[in-house]
Chains A and B, each alone.
Chain A
Amino acid sequence: MKNFRLARIIGLIDDDLVTEAAGVKKRYLRRITRWMSMVPAACLCIVIIMAVVFGNHGMGSSAPANGAPMDAGAVPEAPEAADAPAEMPAGDAEEAPEVNGIGPNADPSEADGAAIVDNSSTFMYYTGPILPLSLEVYSDGVTAEREITLDFSPYVMHQVVSESDLIETYSNECLIIDNYILTNNTDSDINCTALYPFIVSFQPLEDNSVKIYADNAPVETLAYPEICLRDMDGFDSSLYGVYGEMSVSYEAFELKIPAGESVIVSVRLRKAASYGSEHSGENEGLNGFDLAAALGSNLEFTSQKATLEDRGIIEIVNQNFGFDIENGIKTVELDLDTERYYLEILRKSQDS
């Protein structure tokens, strides 16, 4: 079979060409989304020019839509993980994406743009942020409200098989319930592809599936090629030292948002903690979780809230969310201009 031999020969081409082709997605995805993100601005300019030229023509406002309350507890039992394999890492043209994080934080003074002022720790094993939902193509008429819950119910002793032995160990995973109300503010139905990004885990999770529901019904998802986190739209170079070379994968799914109505999208996934902090001497066992409010998303968020389900098993050492477990403040409004939220915790001792 000559074609088979040719296929094998093509397999022998230079390595840099192979890795370049693996990383192709990020550039084109980015090009499309960037271009699309300019459309509303361009439209607005045209409207303003028209208004100036033709006089007193006000811009019509979109009809308000119904906003059904979100109920994290109403999410049905998770289905089996999707059967399709994950996509290849897009990576860098020259080098494969480095899945291991180098951890926070870079010296803000060395970065371009706005500096991140925070006191978060540097983790040797950094698992990256929880990222927000996005649409494949920007949709002018869609607004979003986000309510994310960090549920520490899995963060307990569990049994794992290790070399045929059953051993007990603490899990460092948190259940993330990331809910969105997507509202169509237009007079026409909107059919769109939604993308849920997540950091490619460098360590196996107890359950590494991302489960997604639309109005409580499981959705069929497709794996999307990975990109490098730094290539996401809205990535600020000041985040480089924090997020570095992490790879982002996507679950893509189709959504129909009827005119003037809302769809509730609920995502459930496990997130492993970052660990191995510089402060391990003083805070041994410190675990970190990060959240990006808007990074890489083209959704127009009207609000975001975060809820902590601490389950009485963690204590907060360091954070910028504003949780106060002792005083019962476990739900907080997030500032959409804050690039990065971090939560650093210790497991409460058994006898405390």
Chain B
Amino acid sequence: MEDERIISLYWERNQAAITESEAKYGNYCMKIAYNILALREDAEECVSDTWLSAWNSMPPKRPSKLMAFLGRIARNGALDRFRSLSRQKRGGGLTSLALDELSECVPSRQAVEKELEDKEIAEIISRWLRELSAEKRQVFLRRYWYFDSVEQISGIFGFSRSKTTSMLHRLREDLRQTLEKEGIVI
């Protein structure tokens, strides 16, 4: 079923919207949640919550890309759950590693600092991503949006592990410099 039709089902309060979303994007959301949580049961709960959240969001929302919209809900839900599990000393591992890597992108404090809304910072990051080559952009997002492991990314792109690691390192450094130039505080 086309995305537009699925969104219409949400707006019509037709529960088939959830069935169709699950059929079309269940694996996609599960992959994201599982990458972050690494626990099947938690990932499944997270994906179930995704459909509920989508149901509560549409209407009023009418996403232009349903795939990204649902993936984002699953991702946010999984990250929140991961954080909660980390506090309970559960979870960790690969996602912790990816999050630790991201701390390298956090700009150091500067004289001129801007407290921007998250959405505004995301726009700056989107612009930065668009200036990268497609390959670098995709490597970055597979790591920090989809939380693929370095090994998975290496396999996808046909890179050696060291090439992927060094590319990610340079990208993190580049992002940090970009955010610093903008005087952004995180």
A→B interface (CB under 8 Å): 1-22, 24-25, 28-29, 31-32, 83-89, 91, 95-96, 98-100, 200-204, 225-226, 249
A132 to B159, CA, bound (A): 27
Q: Which of A22, A83, A200 lies in contact with B67, CB distance below 8 A?
A: A22
Beta-carbon contact of A6 and B105 below 8 Å:
yes
Closest B residue to A202 by CB, please name it: B23
B166 within 8 A of A: no
B-chain residues with CB within 8 Å of residue A201 when the two chains form the complex: 23
Beta-carbon contact of B138 and A7 below 8 Å:
no
- Counting contact residues on chain B (CB < 8 A from A), the size range is 35 or more
A40 to B158, CA, bound (A): 20
Which chain B residues numbered 1 to 26 have a C-beta less than 8 Å away from chain A? 1-3, 23-25
Beta-carbon contact of B158 and A32 below 8 Å:
yes
Beta-carbon contact of B146 and A4 below 8 Å:
no
Number of A-B contacts (CB under 8 A): 151
Beta-carbon contact of B25 and A96 below 8 Å:
yes
Beta-carbon contact of A87 and B186 below 8 Å:
no
A14 to B125, CA, bound (A): 9
Interface centre among A16, A31, A85, A86 (most CB of B within 10 A): A85
B31 within 8 A of A: yes
A100 to B2, CA, bound (A): 8
A3-B67 in contact given A86-B30, A100-B1, A202-B24 (Cβ < 8 Å): no
A7-B24 in contact given A15-B68, A86-B30 (Cβ < 8 Å): no
Beta-carbon contact of B27 and A13 below 8 Å:
no
Beta-carbon contact of A19 and B65 below 8 Å:
yes
B-chain residues with CB within 8 Å of residue A84 when the two chains form the complex: 34
Beta-carbon contact of B32 and A88 below 8 Å:
yes
B-chain residues with CB within 8 Å of residue A22 when the two chains form the complex: 28, 67, 71, 146
Beta-carbon contact of A87 and B27 below 8 Å:
yes
Interface centre among B23, B28, B71, B100 (most CB of A within 10 A): B28
Query: Which 10 pairs between the two chains have the least Cβ-Cβ distance?
Result: A12-B122, A21-B141, A96-B67, A15-B68, A86-B27, A3-B103, A15-B65, A18-B68, A88-B31, A85-B30
Q: Which of B3, B106, B126 lies in contact with A14, CB distance below 8 A?
A: B126
- Closest approach, in angstroms, between the C-beta of A90 and any C-beta of chain B? 10
Beta-carbon contact of B28 and A225 below 8 Å:
no
Q: Which of B126, B134, B156 lies in contact with A225, CB distance below 8 A?
A: B156
A-chain residues with CB within 8 Å of residue B163 when the two chains form the complex: none
A28 to B32, CA, bound (A): 20
Beta-carbon contact of B129 and A11 below 8 Å:
no
Q: Which of B28, B40, B76 lies in contact with A89, CB distance below 8 A?
A: B28
Given contacts A1-B99, A15-B65, A89-B67, 18 further A-B contacts (CB under 8 A): A2-B106, A3-B102, A3-B106, A7-B79, A9-B122, A10-B125, A15-B64, A17-B137, A19-B67, A20-B134, A21-B145, A28-B156, A85-B34, A86-B31, A89-B27, A95-B3, A95-B67, A96-B28
Beta-carbon contact of A88 and B28 below 8 Å:
yes
Q: Which of A4, A18, A32, A200 lies in contact with B99, CB distance below 8 A?
A: A4
A249 to B72, CA, bound (A): 22
B-chain residues with CB within 8 Å of residue A91 when the two chains form the complex: 67
A202 to B67, CA, bound (A): 15
For chain B, what secondary structure do more than half of its interface residues adopt (helix, strand, loop), or is it mixed? Answer: helix
B150 within 8 A of A: no
Beta-carbon contact of A85 and B65 below 8 Å:
no
Can you name 19 A-B residue pairings with CB atoms under 8 Å?
A: A6-B186, A7-B79, A7-B102, A7-B144, A9-B118, A12-B118, A12-B119, A12-B122, A17-B129, A24-B156, A28-B156, A83-B40, A85-B31, A87-B27, A88-B28, A88-B31, A88-B146, A91-B67, A99-B23
0 or 1 for each of B134-158: is its CB under 8 Å from A? (1 = yes): 1001100110111000000000111
B43 within 8 A of A: yes
A-chain residues with CB within 8 Å of residue B134 when the two chains form the complex: 20
A1 to B98, CA, bound (A): 13
Q: Which of B40, B79, B121, B129 lies in contact with A85, CB distance below 8 A?
A: B40
A300 to B52, CA, bound (A): 48
Q: Which of B43, B99, B118, B157 lies in contact with A28, CB distance below 8 A?
A: B157
A7-B99 in contact given A18-B71, A86-B31 (Cβ < 8 Å): yes
A-chain residues with CB within 8 Å of residue B157 when the two chains form the complex: 24, 28
A-chain residues with CB within 8 Å of residue B156 when the two chains form the complex: 24-25, 28-29, 225
Beta-carbon contact of A21 and B146 below 8 Å:
yes
B66 within 8 A of A: yes
B-chain residues with CB within 8 Å of residue A7 when the two chains form the complex: 79, 98-99, 102, 144
A96 to B1, CA, bound (A): 11
Q: Which of A5, A12, A20, A225 lies in contact with B186, CB distance below 8 A?
A: A5
Beta-carbon contact of A9 and B30 below 8 Å:
no
A17-B126 in contact given A8-B118, A10-B145, A100-B1 (Cβ < 8 Å): yes
- Closest approach, in angstroms, between the C-beta of B137 and any C-beta of chain A? 7
A99 to B79, CA, bound (A): 28
